[in-house]
């Protein structure tokens, strides 16, 4: 599962939980309780904060992946024979392991 899929799943679970809580707090019977309005506002603020944190985490993960890809690309261009040798070694190892089966 990728980072973005994990974040999407977590965000969906969080939004379902918040939706369920809102459903419970939306009861007209609770309107007479003064703390319910405060609780509803805290719930909305928390959801907003969680969404912002999820967006920041996804952006950070995307930036780190891009930086890693650029570093790998730069290394491959600076040291092409090392990369080719490593690829050859990995290919030979995989071939050897598959041949033993």
pLDDT in tens, 36-68: 778 777 877 887 888 888 888 889 989 999 999
Half-sphere exposure of 99 (CA within 13 A, CB side): 6
Residue span of the structural domain in which 69 resides:
3-100
User: What is the rounded average pLDDT of the residues 66-94?
Assistant: 91
pLDDT reported for residue 81? 92
pLDDT reported for residue 67? 94
Residue that wins the pLDDT comparison between 17 and 31: 17
Q: Which residues contact 3 (CB under 8 A, 6 or more apart)?
A: 58, 61
* H-helix segments, 1-101: 3-25, 34-78, 80-100
- Give how many domains the chain has, as a whole number: 1
> Is pLDDT of 92 > 70?
yes
pLDDT reported for residue 18? 75
The count of residues in the chain is 101
DSSP secondary structure letter of residue 26: T
């Amino acid at each position: 599962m990728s980072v973005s899929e994990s974040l999407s799943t977590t965000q969906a679970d969080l939004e379902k939980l918040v939706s369920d809580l809102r459903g419970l707090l939306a009861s007209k019977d609770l309107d007479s309780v003064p703390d319910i309005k405060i609780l509803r506002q805290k719930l909305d603020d928390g959801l907003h904060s969680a969404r912002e944190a999820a967006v920041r985490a996804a952006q950070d993960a995307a930036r780190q992946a891009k930086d890693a890809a650029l570093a790998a690309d730069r290394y491959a261009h600076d040291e092409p024979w090392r990369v080719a040798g490593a690829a050859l070694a990995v290919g030979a190892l995989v071939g050897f392991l598959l041949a033993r089966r």
